[in-house]
Structure 1
């Protein structure tokens, strides 16, 4: 039997307890003798060390010295949650403007000589990659040099903790996810995920994905996209190439 599972030493504890009881009896007898010999002191009579109220048990004795220093704070009610500034910021729901700002901050990021990017490397470490590999066959390593436009969109949403952004590397599957969530439409909105098809229509023919910056109001939209000319860039796209838009859950 290992020491960790050894039985507790009850015998020694019993021995200690016996000694304590004996000591208490002896001390009690001595105390009675002193009490008998000493004159009675009224509970209302103050002494040099404590005022009468403290002796009577009406007011707890004040803490002094180190005891006072370590006294519990007044506002330690366990039913009152006090949030720090950091916690309050952490609970802030990301907006469409936050998404566009982060995405645009990556403009100029390009892929490496083998066709991958920092977004590929990140994606391979996520549950999105494992789920995609299980669904489509192959392995997580197959994403190392794969097209990364949707990995970029997924990265932006994940970095900010955007609810309802979804995540994938295969654009048709990502679009179908938005449809299944009831968050799919044809209106360009800032921060929306925009899906393109160059040679046809329909979700199964989606070729590319990006994020809407704004609707230009002239039949075009301004977007920020990954894996366009092997980099992250801001583009102006004709809405005739748009299959649809996925709408993350931004605050109103």
Structure 2
């Protein structure tokens, strides 16, 4: 019998899949789903987010158009859900989350599979997307990625719920704001869970801003806290770290941080005198990385070297800013990025 876990396993197997050639929309998923007349690349070059969720459901054993909508169209997915009583506004693991570009169902344009659900966010796996959604845009990417976004994101239109074995329509339990939320909280996360981590760190004496943004200062504080408490010092708040934080500082001594948080490194002014690309190093590359991180590409980390994921971020930003998508940073891209 098919469960959400089986569909999620099928999706996880495709993480890292990329279009070949880049920008063509041609992937193993479109080849498996089939040709659609009128599209480039012999009918395989169509937007493939809905085809991806369809193939994952099919591979897991769900019955097409009975248990889920087998289609390459997001609006068709919505219509199936409404017609079959499978349209919901509260997420559950295994749902298909539909995104809109105008706040209504008429603007539905992208879909992803819900992998995890917390009180404040959902973690998704999607095709034809990118590794970030900092500006709210979910679709029009080069591959299959995982991301975590706030449930309050204005682009979320609603959820299509396939018919799984033994499934119910009970909404996910609301997080109580104190207990471990059921998933890792880490660098780049935003929302109530990140804020709760910051509040617990403050009780231990850390001088960090409680703003719900799990950034560099919070990441450093967590790593040092873990080291001081003989936990794996990876900066990721899992059940053991959450338990230690929730216990609070010893009652007999005042809370005191053993190490001061490191300030965010400010990038020196860079002189942009070259076209930057994969493999380049230097202060100018660092400045572009910092700008991309500020724009929401949180899977990048500060550094002086241009690696493959930076090329992905640059191409995605170029597409969204309306400049030539070549994966290199020259005068036009610098201007579009505000540098």
String of CA shifts for 1:103-141, please: whole Å, max 9, x gaps. 11210011111331111111116xxx5xxx6xxxx4797
Q: Which residue of 1 aligns with 2:89?
A: 186
Larger radius of gyration: 1
In the TM superposition, structure 1's runs of 4+ consecutive aligned residues that sit over 4 Å from their partners are 138-143
Mapping of 1:42-191 within 5 angstroms?
Answer: 93-113=1-21, 114-124=24-34, 138=38, 143-163=43-63, 164-191=67-94
Measure how far apart 1:168 and its partner are. 1.0
In structure 1, C-alpha distance between the alignment counterparts of 2:125 and 2:26, rounded to whole Å = 19
Measure how far apart 1:161 and its partner are. 2.0
Alpha-carbon RMSD? 1.9
Q: Which residue of 2 aligns with 1:244?
A: 158
Which structure is higher in helix share? Answer: 1
Measure how far apart 1:216 and its partner are. 2.2
- TM-score, reference length from structure 2: 0.41
Change (3 A) 1:201 1:153: same
Q: Which residue of 1 aligns with 2:218?
A: none
Q: Which residue of 1 aligns with 2:115?
A: 213
String of CA shifts for 1:48-96, please: whole Å, max 9, x gaps. xxxxxxxxxxxxxxxxxxxxxxxxxxxxxxxxxxxxxxxxxxxxx1101
In structure 2, C-alpha distance between the alignment counterparts of 1:234 and 1:141, rounded to whole Å = 26
| Structure 1: runs of 5 or more not aligned | 1-92
Q: Secondary structure at the match of 1:210?
A: strand
In structure 2, C-alpha distance between the alignment counterparts of 1:143 and 1:235, rounded to whole Å = 29
- TM-score, reference length from structure 1: 0.55
| Structure 2: runs of 5 or more not aligned | 131-141, 167-339
Change (3 A) 1:214 1:124: same
Change (3 A) 1:105 1:151: same
How many residues are matched?
Answer: 148
With a CA cutoff of 8 Å and minimum separation of 6, indicate the structure with the bigger relative contact order.
1
Contact 1:210 1:226 in 2 (8 A): yes
